[in-house]
Amino acid sequence: MAKNILITGAKGQLGSELSELFSQYPEFNFIPTDIAELDLTNKEAVASFVSEQKIDYIVNCAAYTAVDKAEDDIDLCYKINRDAVRNLAEAAAGKAKIIHVSTDYVFDGTAVNPYQETDATNPQSVYGKSKLAGEEALWTVCPESLIIRTAWLYSIYGNNFVKTMIRLGKERPDLNVVADQKGTPTYAADLAQAILSVIVHAEKTNAFPAGIYHYSNEGITSWFEFTELIHQLAGITTCNVHPIPTSQYPTKATRPMYSVLDKTKIKQTVGIIVPQWEESLKRCIERM
């Protein structure tokens, strides 16, 4: 019988990209939900949904993702990023396998080499702390879960850095962009494909590869270099992009200065090829 895969946060960036892939996986029965269909903060609703729909896998794309707003909106941030994850875990225990999405913000960004899954966490923002608390809640209730930490996510859907830079590039003759924060962008369509590859792998091998995994695109860049390529690929020639240090762009939440993620574990375990960030950006902008 086709396995039932619950997608939460299906109207977000990642959830929308996952939804685009459903037709490529006719062997699965996808059940996409967002807050209107299933509010994850409602413990009873989550429990009955998972049980009544006979869910086999849960891909949790739902989150509170407004990083700066979270600094003032602490209760709601924890309600969604920690308590809702616990609700899912309690509903899934003994029934469904969970693939949960987490973030590079669980790290403090002081590393000089790509972060491995075993590296010490030390979140510097409310958002990062709430996401780490979500990871811990999941392990406590469902230790057989899989967490994928990702970074710098963008897509044709929702609000993200790529869309903002295209808009500002069209509006302004000059743009200052932070050049001393290093990381790797992640095209949500690639991450969506990687998540489904995990499920296919689990079904083929009859073994769910529980644990923490890191996933972003390949390579390393800064927000400044990222913007330069966004403008080039979008054909924006009327905006001068200037590199600035983080100190000249204060934000409410502290971001990691370095958040490159080591992808070795997911590549070796699931056997996926991770595209280079420049190539993925090109594919995304072509779809816009």
Ligand X SMILES: NC(=O)c1ccc[n+]([C@@H]2O[C@H](COP(=O)([O-])OP(=O)(O)OC[C@H]3O[C@@H](n4cnc5c(N)ncnc54)[C@H](OP(=O)(O)O)[C@@H]3O)[C@@H](O)[C@H]2O)c1
Supply the minimum distance, in Å, between the C-beta of residue 173 and ligand X.
Answer: 27
Q: Which residues bind ligand X (CB under 6 A)?
A: 8-9, 11-14, 34-35, 39-41, 61-63, 65, 80, 84, 101, 103-104, 131, 150-153, 158
Amino acid (one-letter) located at 125 = S
Q: Are 10 and 18 in contact (CB under 8 A)?
A: yes
Q: Which is closer to ligand X, CB of 151 or CB of 177? A: 151
Distance between terminal CA atoms of the chain? 37
Alpha-carbon gap, residue 32 to 111, rounded angstroms: 37
C-alpha closest to that of 191 among 220, 209, 207, 213: 213
d(CA 121, CA 64): 19
Is residue 40 within 8 Å of 92, Cβ to Cβ? no
- The residue whose Cβ lies closest to ligand X is 12
| Shortest Å, Cβ 285 to ligand X | 17
Contact criterion met (CB below 8 Å) for 259 and 103: no
**Minimum Å distance from CB 174 to ligand X?**
25
Cβ pair 160, 281 in contact under 8 A: no
**Nearest CB to ligand X, comparing residues 9 and 275:** 9
Active site residue 127: yes
Any bridge partners for residue 30, and if so which?
5
76 versus 244: smaller Cβ distance to ligand X: 76
Q: Tell me if residue 190 falls in helix, strand or coil.
A: helix
Distance in Å, CB of 79 to ligand X, minimum: 7
Q: Which 8-state DSSP code applies to residue 252?
A: S
| Calpha distance 205→115 (Å, rounded) | 28
C-beta separation of 176 from 248 below 8 A: yes
Closest CA to 25 of 197, 209, 270, 274: 197
User: Choosing from 57, 105, 127, 154, which is the catalytic residue?
Assistant: 127
Report in angstroms how near the CB of residue 28 gets to ligand X at its nearest.
20
- Catalytically annotated residues: 127
